[in-house]
Amino acid sequence: MVIVMGPDAAPADIEAIVETIGAAGGEAFVSRGVSRTIIGLVGDVAQFSALDLRGMRGVADVMRVTAPYKLVSRDNHPERSTIRVGGVPIGPGTVTLIAGPCAVETPQQTLEAAEMAKAAGATLLRGGAYKPRTSPYAFQGLGEAGLRILADVREQTGLPIVTEVVDAHDVELVASYADMLQIGTRNAQNFALLQAVGGVGKPVMLKRGMNATIEEWLMAAEYIAQRGNLDIVLCERGIRTFETATRNTLDVSAVPVAQRLSHLPVIVDPSHSGGRRDLVLPLTRAAIAVGADGVIIDVHPHPEQALCDGPQALVDGDLDELARVIREFPPLVGRTAAGDALASA
Amino acid sequence: MVIVMGPDAAPADIEAIVETIGAAGGEAFVSRGVSRTIIGLVGDVAQFSALDLRGMRGVADVMRVTAPYKLVSRDNHPERSTIRVGGVPIGPGTVTLIAGPCAVETPQQTLEAAEMAKAAGATLLRGGAYKPRTSPYAFQGLGEAGLRILADVREQTGLPIVTEVVDAHDVELVASYADMLQIGTRNAQNFALLQAVGGVGKPVMLKRGMNATIEEWLMAAEYIAQRGNLDIVLCERGIRTFETATRNTLDVSAVPVAQRLSHLPVIVDPSHSGGRRDLVLPLTRAAIAVGADGVIIDVHPHPEQALCDGPQALVDGDLDELARVIREFPPLVGRTAAGDALASA
Amino acid sequence: MVIVMGPDAAPADIEAIVETIGAAGGEAFVSRGVSRTIIGLVGDVAQFSALDLRGMRGVADVMRVTAPYKLVSRDNHPERSTIRVGGVPIGPGTVTLIAGPCAVETPQQTLEAAEMAKAAGATLLRGGAYKPRTSPYAFQGLGEAGLRILADVREQTGLPIVTEVVDAHDVELVASYADMLQIGTRNAQNFALLQAVGGVGKPVMLKRGMNATIEEWLMAAEYIAQRGNLDIVLCERGIRTFETATRNTLDVSAVPVAQRLSHLPVIVDPSHSGGRRDLVLPLTRAAIAVGADGVIIDVHPHPEQALCDGPQALVDGDLDELARVIREFPPLVGRTAAGDALASA
Amino acid sequence: MVIVMGPDAAPADIEAIVETIGAAGGEAFVSRGVSRTIIGLVGDVAQFSALDLRGMRGVADVMRVTAPYKLVSRDNHPERSTIRVGGVPIGPGTVTLIAGPCAVETPQQTLEAAEMAKAAGATLLRGGAYKPRTSPYAFQGLGEAGLRILADVREQTGLPIVTEVVDAHDVELVASYADMLQIGTRNAQNFALLQAVGGVGKPVMLKRGMNATIEEWLMAAEYIAQRGNLDIVLCERGIRTFETATRNTLDVSAVPVAQRLSHLPVIVDPSHSGGRRDLVLPLTRAAIAVGADGVIIDVHPHPEQALCDGPQALVDGDLDELARVIREFPPLVGRTAAGDALASA
């Protein structure tokens, strides 16, 4: 950390800080400039954070210089990680397509969506049995019945399944069915839930909070990692901005930025960020081009009857183009589509 | 709802919509303009929402015209509500001061903070035993031991207690100690938790999500109300914007706006919105002046030793001015300070 | 400035920076921590800014520690300034009410609005002759004819006038009529215009850009000051956020923050921030309570016929309450209403 | 427009609106629902906007249903436009690379940058002679001397030039040198400047305001178009959000959204949006993949000596990869690189 003293800080103010830091087991280096004095702190940052350094006499600003996350940081783990979900890799060499219905509604709808997904090149099936909805009057998902449908469809299609968990106390149940647990954007700082998925032996896909900075997103991942689970895939899904033409604003820059700060894979959700079917394919292309390790996409056999987010689901006519994008774009960024990676394995 | 057709919509497109709405049990009124046709829908909005109306041929836009919340809306409950917490009113006639330490650390610190709070005019004690922290390495609260300290301090000071709950499965435990449950900004869309506090017989203070629109905040309240608990106090605590000089941006306009849309009381947290001690008193004055039904403020006897948010806690020297503000401002907005309301009762 | 080196920075990288800074006429102090090395820079910051320090080997971050504005900063001018506009003070001892129509439409409408303003306690008259409108098809103002109307109404009412200028080449013309020039939010980074008003001998009211940080707002003021005009009043008028219930989000915290950083007076525009008549009085109370040096408010005798922003103008029925607020709130923050200040002078 | 009446609107309130609209020369269609009445308005929207409809008794909301821009809208001009700049096309069939230094500093630096640009596939040269800078103490550009350098470099390289204009009264001068005028993000609502470039016979590149919605961006273009100049290229350059890891947040979704609403070409500036060299290539790939009609990129032979935005300029080592991206990505979105388009012409 660095403490910047105000222009009117007295020598005694500076001494007081040096003593406080020393008492906390750290060391303070004082650099006296013409108009300002700067004090560099060396030691355990977590300990310094608890001190009210900003409240001390003469202090103008306190700045952190190291990342507050450790386990997910690339500082100590320079090589980018590959996470395997039921054998399917998500990582720097591939582009993984995860697709399926937003919500599991019926066995028939889920199977049809899974077959659409597979035909487009998907190697993992998404589908929600527990749906966090803004309105208490909206469809909240089928619960365990939905998990059973997903398990049946996995049986029929061979696609491992990714599904959301919304309550810490459902984690074991959901993990008993799922190949990968999903934490949604509204739970991105539900720390009880993050800790719970940290204690279970299944990979986790962590969506970025729609209001989370990249640093907060990595801190949320650190919560999971700190409980012993490092099989985490980060998912950018749009942030909240002033623009209303799209549901959220897909922050494509976050993909290379997060990949540079963390060794974890980063994928993109082009369906929920825009909230509009006509944006899904352009944003999928942008996601792969910017360097995402995968994309997760809503498909639905009959979106006009969907119980959740029908307006953004891709339909049959879009899937040929999705398949083409998944096939043709990865080589241009030095990757293979995960489907081809499996096929050639 | 209103459907706006595109300039090139065909008569058959309009007919298709009229039929779809009819089939869903509603009625559609068509207004043909020079360049656009508008279709007004009458019937059960929740049902129409599930339809992919935007995806139908010729549709340019679909707009909602009624609020999606019902129980917390002023439409059906025009009079503003007063909620009582251990006998203390929060509502349109008073300005209630809730104060105390951000986190319960020791019995001594909590008692001292409570006495500071009471001296400044507080009629309710705040204090956190479960702390949702951005970093897994930060102090997470004392848990039930903290609740016991709060209960003891209530005994000693007579102040009813407000404390946060962060996990649905702790709700009963926390409710067995607390006079009012607090839902924090990071859990503002943790629907499992909202439903759990909806099922318990204690008042709830619901902080606005830092990225929540006022409508989403009211929808979160509706989740609680829908489970049978209408003793809800809304708390504005700053929203996330591009400005970095303050931790968040206190949205004072949200107070009169939410009071006009909902019958629930609305209070303000000037400590967490700014995150800076020097802003707490100015923002407290602004909150009362704009018409808030109360304020919730961090105080700490020794903020330089605080384990959480020390930099924003008011200290001894500030409390005389806080007391003056709590005494002098309410009459200018036609209210009494809640302390005086109790004293004169 | 402070340079934070990455964890893998080599000694040679650090030396290279020390040399570069030395060559630029500065001095570099190196603090070696356990995981990071920090380099404090002393010298002319403007010169360092031009260097691509971030691009140098081993550099992780570069942080500025002094404000980039000088003339408007309180660092070198600790006492807060009072600006006089046609004899009316705006500054720390008073609360000045500026009121009038959003746009000058007719002599009659302007005079009626001015009389409404005066009756409510206004000591300065606002009114726009040049209107920057989002749509080219909207009323753009009367131009010089509007300025003549304002001058006539000043004659009749004795109220000095505040009016907007939107083009650098109109500055002299507008200044020949106006007592204070206004720079609108859309021109807050129109540097040609800022420089032009810096060269004219009339006070300037500088609205905050709706997307400007407080620092950028002060830098815009520095543009004016640097040309020799320090008679600047800052005006907070709401920032753009994700919330759509109000036109913009009034950032009341910006008032004390800007007052702490700069010696210039800071006023608030409660009319344009909310864009809704029902919010003007609550936000006016909040502005005075938070410590604003004045408020600027739209009034209109017949808002239903207004050519610009009718929905936010106060009407006759609101003015008694405005007068009460302007009279009763200033004493609670240790100020007098500017009208009383003049009356007692 | 559509007027939504409140639940307690009286029949007389509805009649009053019908009469008001009739008096304004329009027609009102009333749809009575169970809880709400909706009134659709037909006629001249600009005229209705001036009415204080929101202020009328019983009105709950007023919603616009047609776009407020006409000349740039695709409604009346369904085919997407191609703009030619000194013979170089920008439009739906091509991907145009515009590159060059952020600021013109010397003839040598400008020529070297232009040759780097050309080698990477650029067919247009960018370079600023007038620089809008946040600080008045920063380099403000060479002015007309810079324009002369650009003209000389055009002579030497054959690249038509794109350069910024920041003051309405410089428009003729700049237009006498430039092949295309650029309006920067800070002037995106400088209406005097927009009107001035609307009156000159040169193509205009209009950057999106960093706080502008897509609709406001198109309204700014309408200002130019309304003066008779329809040779406008829109440029997405990042919007301001809460994220601080990047200078601004590139809104890639805005490209397909704007292309659907307007017939004008849309390009992307990946240099200024991120403000970081390491993001320029990933964001360039994303821009082309999402469907942009071109990109505009900063290059500099010696960014460590640049007087402006050195940290984001591409350097020699990056240019081979830029050239590859410009060559290989366009075919995947059904386009040719503009350079190839010229070569094959």
Residue from the list C52, C191, C192 with its beta carbon closest to the beta carbon of D303: C52
| pLDDT beyond 90 at D95 | yes
Q: What is the per-residue pLDDT for C312?
A: 81
For residue C209, the chain D residues in CB contact (below 8 A) are: 211
| C-beta atoms of B63 and D2 within 8 A | yes
Residue D114's pLDDT band (cuts 50, 70, 90): very high
Give the residue-averaged pLDDT of C223-240: 96
Contact D177, D147 (CB under 8 A): yes
Q: Which of B229, B263, B270 is nearest to B247 (CA)?
A: B270
Contact A275, A312 (CB under 8 A): yes
Task: Report B:88-117 residues touching A (Cβ under 8 A).
Answer: none
Q: Which of A224, A283, A250 is nearest to A83 (CA)?
A: A224
Residue from the list B55, B209, B276 with its beta carbon closest to the beta carbon of A311: B55
pLDDT digits (tens, 9 = 90+) for C121-140: 999 999 999 988 878 888 88
Q: What is the per-residue pLDDT for C345?
A: 52
Whether residue C268 lies within 8 A of chain B, CB to CB, comes out as: no
| pLDDT beyond 70 at D45 | no
Question: Crossing angle of helices C254-261/C277-290, nearest 10°?
Answer: 40
Residue C33's pLDDT band (cuts 50, 70, 90): low
Q: What is the per-residue pLDDT for B34?
A: 63
pLDDT digits (tens, 9 = 90+) for B72-122: 999 889 999 999 999 999 999 999 999 999 999 999 999 999 999 999 999
Residue from the list D166, D167, D191 with its beta carbon closest to the beta carbon of C166: D191
* Distance of alpha carbon C197 from alpha carbon A158, whole angstroms: 71
**Residue B75: inside a domain:** no
Residue B342's pLDDT band (cuts 50, 70, 90): low
Domain count of the fold of chain A:
2
The torsion angles phi and psi of D176, rounded to 5 degrees, stand at -75, -20
Name the domain boundary from B14, B33, B63: B63
**CATH number for the domain including A228?**
3.20.20.70
**CATH number for the domain including C40?**
3.30.70.1140
* Distance of alpha carbon C258 from alpha carbon C212, whole angstroms: 13
Whether residue A245 lies within 8 A of chain B, CB to CB, comes out as: no
Q: What is the per-residue pLDDT for A33?
A: 67
> Which of B310-314, C17-21, C249-253, C317-321 shows the lowest per-residue confidence on average (mean pLDDT)?
B310-314
- The nearest alpha carbon in chain B to D28 belongs to B31
Residue from the list B213, B215, B256 with its beta carbon closest to the beta carbon of C282: B256
| C-beta atoms of B286 and C286 within 8 A | yes
Using DSSP bridges, classify how beta strands C336-337 and C94-100 pair: parallel, antiparallel or unpaired.
Answer: parallel
**Residue D73: inside a domain:** no
Same domain, D267 and D162: yes
| C-beta atoms of C273 and B254 within 8 A | no
| pLDDT beyond 90 at B312 | no
Q: What is the per-residue pLDDT for B48?
A: 75
Q: What is the per-residue pLDDT for C57?
A: 84
Same domain, D220 and D121: yes
Same domain, C151 and C291: yes
Structure tokens at B223: 């989740």
Same domain, C232 and C122: yes
Using DSSP bridges, classify how beta strands B94-100 and B88-90 pair: parallel, antiparallel or unpaired.
Answer: unpaired
Structure tokens at A7: 């222009």
| pLDDT beyond 60 at D65 | yes
pLDDT digits (tens, 9 = 90+) for D257-305: 999 999 999 999 999 998 888 999 999 999 999 999 999 999 998 877 7
Same domain, D48 and D170: no
Name the domain boundary from A11, A35, A63: A63
Residue D86's region, left for phi above 0, alpha for psi from -120 to 50, else beta, is left
Residue from the list A35, A38, A43 with its beta carbon closest to the beta carbon of C40: A38
Q: Which of B216, B225, B271, B214 is nearest to B248 (CA)?
A: B271
Q: How many CB pairs under 8 A join B and D?
A: 54
- The nearest alpha carbon in chain B to C291 belongs to B282
Q: Which residues contact C314 (CB under 8 A, 6 or more apart)?
A: C99, C116, C271, C277, C280, C281, C297, C298, C299, C300, C322
| pLDDT beyond 90 at D57 | no
Q: What is the per-residue pLDDT for C213?
A: 96
The torsion angles phi and psi of C140, rounded to 5 degrees, stand at -100, 10
**Residue B147: inside a domain:** yes
Whether residue B246 lies within 8 A of chain A, CB to CB, comes out as: no
For residue A40, the chain C residues in CB contact (below 8 A) are: 31, 33, 38, 40
Q: What is the per-residue pLDDT for A315?
A: 81
* 3-state SS, one letter per residue, for D80-138: CCCEEECCEEECCCEEEEEEECCECCCHHHHHHHHHHHHHCCCCEEECECCCCCCCCCC
How many angstroms from the chain centroid is the CA of residue B20? 38
Same domain, D9 and D127: no
Same domain, D136 and D270: yes
**Residue B19: inside a domain:** yes
pLDDT digits (tens, 9 = 90+) for D232-249: 999 999 999 999 999 999
Burial C240-258, CB ≥16 within 10 A → b, else e: bbbbebbbbbbbbbbbbbb
Residue C111's pLDDT band (cuts 50, 70, 90): very high
Whether residue C289 lies within 8 A of chain B, CB to CB, comes out as: yes
Q: Which residues contact B15 (CB under 8 A, 6 or more apart)?
A: none
| C-beta atoms of D289 and A288 within 8 A | yes
Percentages helix, strand, coil for chain D (3-state, rounded to 5) are: 40, 20, 40
Q: What is the per-residue pLDDT for D343?
A: 64
| C-beta atoms of B4 and D65 within 8 A | yes
pLDDT digits (tens, 9 = 90+) for B282-294: 999 999 999 999 9
Q: What is the per-residue pLDDT for D341?
A: 64
* Distance of alpha carbon D100 from alpha carbon D108, whole angstroms: 13
For residue A35, the chain C residues in CB contact (below 8 A) are: 66
Low-confidence ranges of chain A (pLDDT < 50): none
Whether residue A334 lies within 8 A of chain D, CB to CB, comes out as: no
Beta-sheet strands, E only, within A108-175: 124-126, 161-164
At A98, the amino acid letter reads I
Same domain, A197 and A301: yes
For residue C243, the chain B residues in CB contact (below 8 A) are: 213-214, 239, 251, 254
Residue D179's pLDDT band (cuts 50, 70, 90): very high
**Residue B257: inside a domain:** yes
Same domain, C57 and C92: no
Same domain, D57 and D94: no
* Distance of alpha carbon D119 from alpha carbon C2, whole angstroms: 37
Same domain, A58 and A92: no
- C-beta neighbour count of A74 within 10 angstroms: 18
Whether residue C45 lies within 8 A of chain A, CB to CB, comes out as: no
**Residue B71: inside a domain:** no
How large is the ipTM?
Answer: 0.90
Q: Which residues contact D16 (CB under 8 A, 6 or more apart)?
A: D56, D57
Same domain, B172 and B285: yes
Q: What is the per-residue pLDDT for D33?
A: 67
| C-beta atoms of A66 and C35 within 8 A | yes
Q: What is the per-residue pLDDT for C152?
A: 98
Residue C12: strand, helix, or coil: helix
Q: What is the per-residue pLDDT for C80?
A: 97
Q: What is the per-residue pLDDT for C29?
A: 78
For residue A215, the chain D residues in CB contact (below 8 A) are: 245
* 3-state SS, one letter per residue, for chain B: CEEEECCCCCHHHHHHHHHHHHHCCCEEEEEECCCCEEEEEECCHHHHHHCCHHHCCCEEEEECCCCCCCCCECCCCCCCCCEEECCEEECCCEEEEEEECCECCCHHHHHHHHHHHHHCCCCEEECECCCCCCCCCCCCCCCHHHHHHHHHHHHHHCCCEEEECCCHHHHHHHHHHCCEEEECHHHCCCHHHHHHHHCCCCCEEEECCCCCCHHHHHHHHHHHHHCCCCCEEEEECCECCCCCCCCCECECCHHHHHHHHECCCEEECHHHHHCCHHHHHHHHHHHHHHCCCEEEEEECCCHHHCCCCHHHCECHHHHHHHHHHHHHHHHHCCCEEHHHHHHCC
For residue B304, the chain A residues in CB contact (below 8 A) are: 51-52, 55-56
| C-beta atoms of A2 and C7 within 8 A | no
Q: What is the per-residue pLDDT for A237?
A: 97
Closest CA–CA distance from residue C303 to any residue of chain D (Å) = 7
**Residue A242: inside a domain:** yes
Whether residue B306 lies within 8 A of chain A, CB to CB, comes out as: yes
Residue C325's pLDDT band (cuts 50, 70, 90): very high
Give the residue-averaged pLDDT of D99-118: 95
How many angstroms from the chain centroid is the CA of residue B140? 22
Whether residue C85 lies within 8 A of chain D, CB to CB, comes out as: no
**Which residue range forms the structural domain that includes residue D194?**
83-343
| pLDDT beyond 70 at B300 | yes
Beta-sheet strands, E only, within chain A: 2-5, 27-32, 37-42, 59-63, 83-85, 88-90, 94-100, 124-126, 161-164, 180-183, 204-207, 232-236, 266-268, 294-298, 336-337
* Distance of alpha carbon D3 from alpha carbon D63, whole angstroms: 6
How many angstroms from the chain centroid is the CA of residue C196? 16
Whether residue D79 lies within 8 A of chain B, CB to CB, comes out as: no
Q: What is the per-residue pLDDT for C254?
A: 98
DSSP string of A34-95, one letter each residue: SS-EEEEEES-HHHHHHS-GGGSTTEEEEE--S-S--TTBSSS--SPP-EEETTEEESTTEE
**Residue B162: inside a domain:** yes
> Which of A285-289, B60-64, B105-109, B312-316 shows the lowest per-residue confidence on average (mean pLDDT)?
B60-64
Residue from the list C242, C278, C329 with its beta carbon closest to the beta carbon of B289: C329
The helix (run of H) or strand (run of E) holding residue D21 is helix D11-23
Residue from the list A245, A256, A283 with its beta carbon closest to the beta carbon of D252: A283
Residue C81's pLDDT band (cuts 50, 70, 90): very high
Which chains share 3+ C-beta pairs under 8 angstroms with A? B, C, D
Burial D97-115, CB ≥16 within 10 A → b, else e: bbbbbbbbbeeebbbbbbb
Mean pLDDT of chain D: 90
Question: For B214, how many CA atoms within 13 A lie in the half-sphere containing its CB?
Answer: 23
